[in-house]
A and B are shown apart, each in its own frame.
Chain A
Amino acid sequence: MNMDATVETIPLVSVKELRASLGRDPEAPEILRGVSLDIGPGEILGLVGESGSGKTMTALSMLRLLPSAVEVTSGAVRFDGRDILDLKPGEMQKVRGGRIAMIFQDPIRHLNPVFTVGEQLEAVIRAHAPTRLGDAEVRRQAIDLLDQVKIVNPEARLGSYPHQFSGGMAQRVMIALALAGSPDLLLADEPTSALDVTVQAEILLLLRRIARERGMAILFISHNLGAVWQLCDRVCVMYAGQVVEDAPTDIIVRRPQHPYTRALVMALPRLGQVRTRLANIPGSMPPLSDLPGGCTFHPRCAFSHADCATTEPALRPVNSRHMARCRYAETIPPIDEATA
């Protein structure tokens, strides 16, 4: 929970009012409904929300890798002073892997099964090298990357194929591949969700060390608030295609000011705090094709007022470095640890 990394600086990436729909049809459902978030240099930002809330689509927009059916209708993704959405294909190619890299939930599926790990690493190192490198140098860098992700005996492991690695080891290989271009930002989409708990903890430790050592920022996408609390400096919570709250991690879990965040924290089973009942959020997230009017969360909200059904709230500052998309954010009680 290093707060130093989040002092007020010019953000590395700034997503501004990003809107995207499923198809060109004006009637098509909107999957991103004005997403705004910043990631500072070297910052580890958690992106939390339930399935379909738009977490992965937000990350993919930063690499301009949204599925072809998804149409960006307005907004900007500012990176290094330019809008990613305006870059030419050649410029975009330099950003991908070189400035912004991505890792996924299922590493084995994202590694090529017919090439050795060494061949894949070397190809990526060559692609990102500013000058032509000799074979020995490429090999040296590949060994160094495997060493950085703490793979034992990296020299011998270069000759292994992806299927010869366990899930946790394959995730380390994918992280090594992502690091090959020395990115400023790593997009990590549920990178530990398929792993056993002990391996998950190892990967979280690894990510944190690498981010701190290299000054690399991470966008950590997860549905697991526990893992997010352990890793991230700050958290953005998404609901139905929007960021509904944005605050430092400790604030998000103790004094959330959006009712959805509060309910999410209180619905979490915790070994350290077994309760007779978990707090319930009634119902489930509405389909994006059929969203309620006003605040999209109001039908499930324990604190909703009459005008929540008619007036759409804006994401607004409620405290220093704390934003919430709720008209009544100031009245939301903090989580009482005794009863939570």
Chain B
Amino acid sequence: MTSSEDIGPDGTQPIRPVLEVRGVTKVFRAGGSFGKAHLVTAVKDVSFDIMPGEAFGLIGESGSGKSTLGRLLLRLEQPTDGQIMFEGTDIAQLPQVQLRKLRAGMQMVFQDPFNALNPSMTVRRALAEPLRIQRKLSGKALQTEIDRLISLVGLSPSTQDRLPKEFSGGQRQRICLARALALEPRLIVLDEPTSALDVSVQAQIINLLVDLKQELNLTYIFISHDLSVIGQVCDRIAVMKRGELVEVTSRDQFIAEPATDYARSLRDAVPEIGRPLPSSLAEEAA
């Protein structure tokens, strides 16, 4: 993975992207059991880089392919075509055995904290499992690490012998975060992490995510349909439409003046205090 491009003009090593995505495409086979099977291109020829410490927002309407792309980037789905370089290694077609070694570096947090946790596992067990298996911790070191993770996400240490059902939605999302952080990842894909939460709890989780990123020098890919949330967390925003990336821009540029009409229509439709309903919108729909 070394080339002359890796040496900067002044002879120093430039910062490498955490993730280099090149021409990633995913085609699904749909139907078949009743109607005729057909192919659906969920993600089409997507390319971008993510630098260390960035919070990269991925937005788009339902069916735009943003969640599929998130899953492809962590190889939870295998791309049909293209390259995904994670810290310099192409993981797009890597066999599972080699993939496993890299997996610790990248984690995912999902929308529904109710389904993401094993209901019969206490918080302690849920956190101990990856620490024991992947980081080979045991005894006192294991407990110290569990305590550290729990306080990192703002839960009280006394909660660790409880089951997921004893927690509220926001607390569960904190547990999911602690579990994702257990393997000391560099990259976290957050798929609608606050969409199931009430406003007051959403604000707590957003603030926590911003703090953790700072503290642990994390890189985020933040997938959401909620542009106000994306704007609060992300420095760069990528807009997807029907599987394609239509625009990648800075947050400030997105707010001030997006380059494409599609991105502008999304921005203008965000329901917010102080932003009247767009009068330009056609009320009619075909």
Assess whether B277 is in contact with A204, with CB atoms less than 8 Å apart: yes
* B170 closest partner in A (C-beta): A284
CB-CB < 8 A to B33: which residues of A?
A: none
Interface residues of B, count at CB 8 A = 44
A82: Cβ under 8 A from any B Cβ: no
Instruction: Give bound CA distance, A274 to B270, whole Å.
Output: 14
CB-CB < 8 A to B283: which residues of A?
A: 150, 202, 205-206, 209
A172: Cβ under 8 A from any B Cβ: yes
A25: Cβ under 8 A from any B Cβ: no
* A166 closest partner in B (C-beta): B285
B31: Cβ under 8 A from any A Cβ: no
Question: Range of interface residues on chain A?
Answer: 35 or more
Instruction: Give bound CA distance, A272 to B278, whole Å.
Output: 14
Assess whether A269 is in contact with B203, with CB atoms less than 8 Å apart: yes
The interface-forming segment of B40-48, B86-94, B119-127, B227-235 is B227-235
Instruction: Give bound CA distance, A172 to B285, whole Å.
Output: 10
Partner of A196, one of B61, B198, B229, B278: B61
B276: Cβ under 8 A from any A Cβ: yes
Chain A's nearest CB lies how many Å from the CB of B231? 4
Assess whether A278 is in contact with B206, with CB atoms less than 8 Å apart: yes
B23: Cβ under 8 A from any A Cβ: no
Instruction: Give bound CA distance, A51 to B168, whole Å.
Output: 12
Chain A's nearest CB lies how many Å from the CB of B84? 27
Contact string against B for A residues 251-275, beta-carbon threshold 8 Å, 1 for contact and 0 otherwise = 0010000000001110111111111
Assess whether B271 is in contact with A269, with CB atoms less than 8 Å apart: no
Chain B's nearest CB lies how many Å from the CB of A319? 20
B62: Cβ under 8 A from any A Cβ: yes
Assess whether A274 is in contact with B232, with CB atoms less than 8 Å apart: yes
Instruction: Give bound CA distance, A54 to B93, whole Å.
Output: 51
Instruction: Give bound CA distance, A199 to B282, whole Å.
Output: 10
Assess whether A274 is in contact with B271, with CB atoms less than 8 Å apart: no
Instruction: Give bound CA distance, A21 to B251, whole Å.
Output: 47
With A196-B61, A269-B228 known as contacts, the answer to whether A50 contacts B198 (CB < 8 A) is yes
Partner of B231, one of A225, A274, A281: A274
Instruction: Give bound CA distance, A224 to B227, whole Å.
Output: 13
Contact string against B for A residues 227-261, beta-carbon threshold 8 Å, 1 for contact and 0 otherwise = 10111000000000000000000000100000000
B207: Cβ under 8 A from any A Cβ: yes
Assess whether A205 is in contact with B286, with CB atoms less than 8 Å apart: no
Assess whether A225 is in contact with B199, with CB atoms less than 8 Å apart: yes
Assess whether A284 is in contact with B281, with CB atoms less than 8 Å apart: no
CB-CB < 8 A to A229: which residues of B?
A: 271-274
Instruction: Give bound CA distance, A154 to B124, whole Å.
Output: 58
Partner of A226, one of B206, B265, B273: B273
Contact string against B for A residues 120-160, beta-carbon threshold 8 Å, 1 for contact and 0 otherwise = 00000000000000000000000000000011100000000
Chain A's nearest CB lies how many Å from the CB of B38? 18
Assess whether A267 is in contact with B269, with CB atoms less than 8 Å apart: no
A88: Cβ under 8 A from any B Cβ: no
Instruction: Give bound CA distance, A269 to B204, whole Å.
Output: 11
B255: Cβ under 8 A from any A Cβ: yes
CB-CB < 8 A to B202: which residues of A?
A: 267, 269
Assess whether B272 is in contact with A267, with CB atoms less than 8 Å apart: no
Assess whether B228 is in contact with A271, with CB atoms less than 8 Å apart: yes
Assess whether B281 is in contact with A198, with CB atoms less than 8 Å apart: yes
With A278-B232, A284-B200 known as contacts, the answer to whether A198 contacts B61 (CB < 8 A) is yes
Assess whether A269 is in contact with B229, with CB atoms less than 8 Å apart: yes
Assess whether B271 is in contact with A271, with CB atoms less than 8 Å apart: no
Instruction: Give bound CA distance, A229 to B268, whole Å.
Output: 15
CB-CB < 8 A to B203: which residues of A?
A: 267-269, 278-281
Assess whether A230 is in contact with B276, with CB atoms less than 8 Å apart: yes
Assess whether A196 is in contact with B62, with CB atoms less than 8 Å apart: yes
Chain B's nearest CB lies how many Å from the CB of A259? 12
9 A-B pairs (CB sep. < 8 Å): A168-B285, A201-B268, A201-B281, A205-B281, A226-B275, A265-B273, A269-B229, A278-B203, A279-B203
Knowing that A152-B284, A267-B203 touch, tell me 6 more A-B residue pairs with CB under 8 angstroms.
A151-B285, A199-B285, A268-B272, A270-B231, A274-B231, A284-B168
Interface residues in chain B, defined as those with a beta carbon under 8 Å from any beta carbon in chain A? 61-62, 168-170, 198-204, 206-207, 210, 225-229, 231-232, 251, 255, 265-278, 281-286
The 9 closest A-B pairs by CB, nearest first: A226-B271, A267-B203, A281-B200, A269-B232, A50-B198, A196-B61, A227-B271, A278-B203, A197-B269
